[in-house]
Amino acid sequence: MAPVTRPEIREARPGDLVAWAREGRLRLPSFQRSYQWESVDVRRLFDSLLRGYPIGNLLVWQRPAAAGTVTVGHLSVAAPETGAAYWVVDGQQRITSLVGALTATDDTVDPRFRVYYDLATGEFRSLSRRRRPDADWLPVSLTLDTAAANAWIRERPHLTGEQIDRADAVIAAIRDYRLPMYVVTGDDETTLREIFDRLNTYGKALKSADIFRALHASRDDRALGDLTSLGADVAGFGFGRLPEQLLTQSVLAVRDPVVDRDFRREFDGADDLHTALTATRDALGHVVDFLRDEADIPHAKLLPYALFVPVLARFAALFGPPRGRAAQLLRRWVWRGAVLGVAPQGNTAGLRKNAKAVAGDPVGSAERLIGLLPTPDSAVWRPDLGHTRLNAALGKVNILGLLSRGPLPLPGTAEAERADGTAGRPVDVASVLEADSPPPLLAPIFDIGWPTGENVANRVVAPGAKPAQVRDALLAGEVDERLLHSQCLDEGCVGLLRDGDTDGFLARRAELAGAVIAEHVQNHALFGFRDGPALSTLFEDTPDPAPAGEDGPA
């Protein structure tokens, strides 16, 4: 085994990074996490360059690379084969931000890379492609091209001397900034991973999924050898893409219930890793089937708690797909946990306890999971209609309740236009959630503020629609009873809307929507029903009297 040489310290300017990216010499290996920075992070990065603040070191591995399409941020190039590519080990977020912003064009879609320097205020700004920058906003993408930057300034005779000085300062600061870059050569991949592991153990807040990817990367992106390929396979199940942290937890849960263990020595070679990933992929296929078909949760973004996935993956790996009584009890566990809080003691501790409960036999495991849930405050659960967003479990519960009616698109909205040729079909929620920038699923009926306006009573399932559109659709022409029913409305609601009685409308709608959500939850959670083995197992040769395999209330 050839040793890794002592890292050589070099300097790289932003222009060097751009040049290497355009040449295809800059490569992002498969173990790198996806680009995660937000617009504010990119703006702060450029502000640091302007002020001369340190932004950290880069670590690259210099080694050969095959020809292929290479993507850095929005920039995609046909890279030739090279014997001395720079594979980025640490610094991907900074490099992607710099290259992305410095090569942005008018066609660049990602607003994180559309960065400008406001010569009037001295601040960096970012814009979406649909917004036009002010006349004195200098595009950061011009700062490496002196001639283009000077032409931009000459085209703006209104700029003051102070503003021109600011532009010159920004151009010089970005062009001349020097980043320390450690270059490792050699073929000892194990040692390189050890460097990465140490680098991200001493004070850096990478999640376990990031370390997992670094330590167990696949050289062949097409092989099931890392989290990226596992995530792509799972996304193909039609339930949406699972976060890599959740994939990591699932891999660990399939092998052992102590999911927060140190896994740096988890796998005995590539074959063991491949076996683990394959088992996890198969288990997650059963999890998706169960959540979508048994629990009536159509997409990962509507899952109230991520914890359900690794725990169910462990169940499926041990016992196969949930069936019979076990499936019935697991459905109760999911829905009771959704409304009561499946892990009130915290995600890590809750995940460990729930994963340990899955052992022995399927029905006993499901019983123990239900036993870990908090005790409800009352025998009857009632929804909190103040939750309408996808960033809270109860918001997802409320949305799932509204979706249980199969809401039809409102006339005149984008969803109605997209449904051409499929009249009478409900809103395609999965397609909406899979969009690059999905609009909110719920649209307000009245443009009123919090807290009155932030309520399910003031929401219908009409992705991206505006209040005026919603009201016009409800008041246009004859009342479509089927449409109203699908949206948890009735003729009484329409009458109150026509009369301009906002308070009366919201009260009536709260009553209707609340009843639908409560019924939907109870149908799945079955609060008050007897948990445990089916009655047929308690009496020999006696069939279970409850219909569809369910027992009656306790």
| pLDDT tens figures, 328-338 | 999 999 999 99
CA atoms within 13 A of residue 85's CA, in its CB half-sphere: 22
CA–CA dist 277, 424 (Å, integer): 41
CA–CA dist 141, 110 (Å, integer): 14
Per-residue model confidence (pLDDT) at position 265: 77
* pLDDT above 80: residue 547: no
Percent of the chain with pLDDT over 70: 85
User: Which region among 178-187, 205-214, 282-291, 518-527 has the lowest average model confidence (pLDDT)?
Assistant: 205-214
Per-residue pLDDT of 148-166, as tens digits, reads 999 999 999 999 999 999 9
Phi-psi region of 296 (alpha: psi -120 to 50; beta: other; left: phi over 0): left
Please give the average per-residue pLDDT across 316-325, as a whole number.
95
Per-residue model confidence (pLDDT) at position 210: 62
DSSP 107: T
User: Are the beta carbons of 296 and 524 closer than 8 angstroms?
Assistant: yes
Please give the average per-residue pLDDT across 289-306, as a whole number.
94
Beta bridge partners of 182: 9, 59
Cα dihedral 218, 221, 226, 231, rounded to 10, equals 170
User: Which region among 27-41, 415-429, 446-460, 513-527 has the lowest average model confidence (pLDDT)?
Assistant: 415-429
CA–CA dist 59, 79 (Å, integer): 21
Q: Which residue has the tokens 């906003």?
A: 137
Please give the average per-residue pLDDT across 63-85, as a whole number.
89
Per-residue model confidence (pLDDT) at position 107: 79
Biggest alpha carbon–alpha carbon distance for the chain: 95
Q: Which helix (H) or strand (E) holds 415?
A: helix 414-418
Per-residue model confidence (pLDDT) at position 230: 87
Please give the average per-residue pLDDT across 101-119, as a whole number.
89
CA-based nearest residue to 351, from 402, 406, 289, 307: 307
Per-residue model confidence (pLDDT) at position 259: 84
Per-residue model confidence (pLDDT) at position 5: 60
Q: Is 384 exposed, middle or buried (0-12, 13-18, 19+ CB in 10 A)?
A: middle
Please give the average per-residue pLDDT across 530-548, as a whole number.
53
User: Are the beta carbons of 376 and 340 closer than 8 angstroms?
Assistant: yes
* pLDDT above 60: residue 538: no
User: Which region among 8-12, 69-73, 167-171, 496-500 has the lowest average model confidence (pLDDT)?
Assistant: 69-73
User: Which region among 124-138, 144-158, 414-428 has the lowest average model confidence (pLDDT)?
Assistant: 414-428
Q: Is 95 exposed, middle or buried (0-12, 13-18, 19+ CB in 10 A)?
A: buried
Per-residue model confidence (pLDDT) at position 217: 55
Q: Is 38 exposed, middle or buried (0-12, 13-18, 19+ CB in 10 A)?
A: exposed
Per-residue model confidence (pLDDT) at position 420: 47
Q: Is 72 exposed, middle or buried (0-12, 13-18, 19+ CB in 10 A)?
A: buried
Mean of pLDDT over the chain: 86
* pLDDT above 80: residue 12: yes
Q: Report the DSSP pairing between strands 123-126 and 115-118.
A: antiparallel
Per-residue pLDDT of 238-251, as tens digits, reads 899 999 889 999 99
Please give the average per-residue pLDDT across 377-402, as a whole number.
92
* pLDDT above 70: residue 411: yes
Comparing 261 with 139, which gets the higher pLDDT? 139
Q: Which residues contact 205 (CB under 8 A, 6 or more apart)?
A: none
Per-residue model confidence (pLDDT) at position 344: 67
Per-residue model confidence (pLDDT) at position 193: 66
Percent of the chain with pLDDT over 90: 58
Token digits of residue 37? 């920075």
Per-residue pLDDT of 430-469, as tens digits, reads 888 888 788 899 999 999 988 888 999 999 999 999 999 9
CA–CA dist 327, 30 (Å, integer): 37
Please give the average per-residue pLDDT across 193-217, as a whole number.
60
Q: Which of the given ranges, 158-172, 187-201, 344-358, 420-434, has the highest pLDDT on average?
A: 158-172
Give the three-state DSSP class for 400: helix
**pLDDT tier for residue 553 given thresholds of 50, 70 and 90:** low
Token digits of residue 331? 């459905």
CA–CA dist 276, 504 (Å, integer): 57
Please give the average per-residue pLDDT across 292-310, as a whole number.
95
